[in-house]
Structure formats: structure tokens, C-alpha cells
Amino acid sequence: MANQTAPFAKFEWMIAWRYIRAKRAEGGVSVMTWISLLGVMLAVFALIATLAVRSGFRAEFVDTILGANAHVTVYQNVQIEGTNRTVRIINDYDGLTERLMQIDGVTRAAPLVKQQVMANRGNNNTGVEVYGITKEDLMGIPRIAAPEVSMGQIDRFDDGIAIGSGVAQSLGVSVGDQIKVISPNGVRTAMGTSPRTSVYEVVYIFTAGRYDIDRTRAYMPLAEAQVFFNRDGVADEIEVMVDDPDTIENLLPAINDATGAGALLWTWKDSAGAFLRALSVEDNVMFVILSILVLIASMNIISGLIMLVKNKGRDVGILRTMGLSEGSILRIFFICGAGIGTVGTILGVIIGCLFALYIDQIFSLVNYLSGGGVWDPSIRGIYALPAELHLSDVLKAVSLSLGLSWIVTIFPARRAARMNPVEALRYE
């Protein structure tokens, strides 16, 4: 009759449920059950929360790079006739821009004049990197033309200068104020090089979402920048944006052909590659560490089941003499351990997903209770702690938790199944 018992029959679930909810006075281990369940729940919550924050931070970091910077920057080295010196300027930038725009996958190509200057307003000074660009090309930069926070009118760009919110804060200016731009590479005289200065009205203030960009960047009309920086008829570089920045390597041969000899290409992966690789290493290390945390939580299930098997030795002996097979005993205790792991995993997934969805409110509360200053954008580059919940991350955490909790359950359950009923009842 025992051999005809269907696996995971109703009576096996009933016995397992009675064992799980049994109190210590009845030979159960309810306290250990709760500890095991909470351990698995917190481990899964920590794993999902960490994976969500990791994914969000990476996505936000990459988005701020791609939304305010060139996907590929094109430079050209031009040799000065009669000398061995080369300068990095682009003479026929209109023709080169046209050729780049004809490449399939390129969405925008914009000539730039880029120089570092000193910005001044009253007693306030700050270093600024000025980008000379046309208004049409500026409108094609997502994080500048359509940021989350901005002041002024970008349509008036040709009438003045656009600066980052960090620059505006350092100088203490707002839209409509005037700032002085000072370039050390000015007019050459008999007494040496005289700094060049000019005054511009602030017509637009943007917050690109990256601290280093908002703190140092300013945009000036291309024609004005060419005059101010002695770049008449030339550009310093051409910034190129493409449809799919992640596969930028596939477009490099075509861009190289369009630029010709003497060109140098610098992609966004070249500039941020080291940081992205560091993030990948950190991701893998964090996953391994948190996987160990899940394993430790699963070990609590083993200790609880071992105590349960010891306390229920008499019951196991009686059930075996009544005809239950080793398989039925194994499944009963497997249900006990796997049930704890499964319920803990489900609760951990729910709490972890809620944490990722409401991270802004939770982080605001933590920041308030700690008195502020928990997140320093000058160190991390972005202004808030992001979280991005992916189904693959949730499934990865669920698979790891269920796999470990079910596997570790097999060993004490197998020990219970192999218990000799005669030995179990000898001293009863």
C-alpha cells in the first residue's frame, strides 16, 4: 500500500503543516521556524534591493553621459606648413559634418569650439569649460535642451550664454544677470599675451543631472566662440551622436572613412570605460556577497529541521510502523523546510520590490532623520539614489533563494527518512 502512495499526497502536506506550526511544548520548533523565515525574507529583500539600486545607478550614470555628451568625438591633427608642429583644429568642419551625417546610424554631428576659461561675477570666480555651438545643435542635446530643471529661455541662446546650475550657484547669478568670461589665451602684444575678456548675459540655466557637468559647463554661440577664442573659420572638434550608443564600435569604421587620415576618434566608452568596468566588478562582487547571505539564511532552515527531526523521532517511528515509506517521510520534512524557504522568498520579493518602487520616499525619510547630507552629488556625480527594478534581477534572486533553501532541506529530510523505527521507539 505504501508503494501506491502518490508523491506529495494530501496527508503529507497535513502532517508537515502540523509540524511547522507546532509549539515547543508539543515537540515543535516554532521559534526556529520564524527565525528561518525571517532570515530568508531579509536576505532576499537585501539581494533584490541591491540589484535594483545597482541597475538604477548604472542606468542613470550612463544616461547622464549619453544625454549631455558626444557618443563619439572627432578630432583632426593638422600639421603647420614649414614646421614639425601639429595643431588639433578642423578647417572644413561643414564638409566633414555633412559626410558624418550621411552615415547610417548617425543622428547628429555638431562642430564645437571648446576652451577652458574663468567666469567672474563681482567677487565670485569659477573655472568653466565653454562649448561654442550653434543653437540648432544645442537643441539636439537631450539633457541640455530638455532637462528636468531649467531657468530662462533656450530660444534666446544667440543673445547670450547658457550655463549649468552649479556654475550659476558658484557665481551667484540668475537669468538676466551678466557674467564676465576671461580667457588667458587672448591678444598677443609686445608685452606678452593679454587675457581676453568679454561680458555675456545669462539667458538659460540648465541642470543636466550630473554634478560635474552642471558645475563646470557653459554654452556659447559658435560664431561668438570662434571670435572670442581666435578660432576664425575653424572648429576644435565635432561631436557625433548615434542611434545605439551601446554598439558604437560598429560605426567606428564608417566614421573613420568619413574623417580621413589624421583623425582621432574618442568614444563615450573610452572616457567612461574605467568607471563602467569598476561598476561591473562591483556588481559581481556584491552579488556573490549577498548570495552568501542567502546561503547563511538557508542554513537556519537546516538547523531548524534537524531540531524538528530530533523532536519528532517518536512520531517518525510510529508513522513508519503504520506503513509510511521512506519517501513519504522525506517529503513531509522536505515540505517543512521548502515551505519556510518559499514563504520567506515570497515575502522578501514583495518587500524588495516595494523598496525599489518607493526608494525616493524611503531615502527622503532617511535623509531627514539623519539631518541631511547622506547623498553627496560631488562624490557620486548624480543627485539622487536611483533604483531600477528588472524582472531578470527578481528572477535571479528568487531562483537563488529557492534553489538554496530547497537543496539544503534535502539533507535533514533524508536523515529523517532513514531513521530506524525500532531505534526511534526503543526508549518510548
| Mean pLDDT per 10-residue segment, the chain (428 residues) | 63 80 57 83 92 85 83 81 69 91 92 93 93 93 87 93 94 94 74 80 91 91 92 91 90 90 87 82 86 86 77 72 77 85 93 90 78 61 75 91 88 78 58
**Predicted pLDDT at 1:** 41
**Predicted pLDDT at 97:** 93
Half-sphere exposure of 113 (CA within 13 A, CB side): 21
Expressed in percent and rounded to 5, the helix, strand and coil fractions of the chain are 55, 20, 20
Residue length of the chain:
428
3 state DSSP class of 134: coil
Q: Tell me which H or E stretch contains 204.
A: strand 192-207
Q: How far is it, in rounded angstroms, from Cα 149 to Cα 143?
A: 10
Q: Tell me, what amino acid is at 213?
A: I
Q: How far is it, in rounded angstroms, from Cα 42 to Cα 347?
A: 9
Question: Of 339, 336, 387, 392, whose CA–CA distance to 363 is shortest?
Answer: 387
Burial of 425 from C-beta contacts in 10 A (0-12 / 13-18 / 19+): middle
Q: Are 119 and 179 in contact (CB under 8 A)?
A: yes
305 φ, ψ (degrees, to nearest 5): -70, -35
Q: Are 57 and 63 in contact (CB under 8 A)?
A: no
**Predicted pLDDT at 27:** 47
Torsion sign, CA atoms 20, 22, 25, 26:
negative
**Predicted pLDDT at 2:** 45
**Residue partners of 245: CB distance under 8 A and separation at least 6:** 66, 71, 268
Q: How far is it, in rounded angstroms, from Cα 289 to Cα 296?
A: 11
DSSP secondary structure code for residue 157 in this structure:
G
pTM higher than 0.75 for the full model? no
Print the SS3 string covering 39-96. HHHHHHHHHHHHHHHHHHHHHHHHHHHHHHCCCEEEEECEECCCCCCEECCECCHHHH
Question: Of 20, 110, 55, whose CA–CA distance to 385 is shortest?
Answer: 55
Q: Are 369 and 65 in contact (CB under 8 A)?
A: no
**Residue partners of 126: CB distance under 8 A and separation at least 6:** 118, 119, 167, 170, 171
Q: Are 365 and 61 in contact (CB under 8 A)?
A: no
DSSP secondary structure code for residue 383 in this structure:
S
**Residue partners of 134: CB distance under 8 A and separation at least 6:** 110, 221, 222
Q: Are 267 and 252 in contact (CB under 8 A)?
A: yes
The grid coordinates listed for 101 are 551625417
**Predicted pLDDT at 329:** 80
Question: Of 187, 214, 212, 213, whose CA–CA distance to 198 is shortest?
Answer: 187
Quote the radius of gyration of the chain (alpha carbons, Å): 33
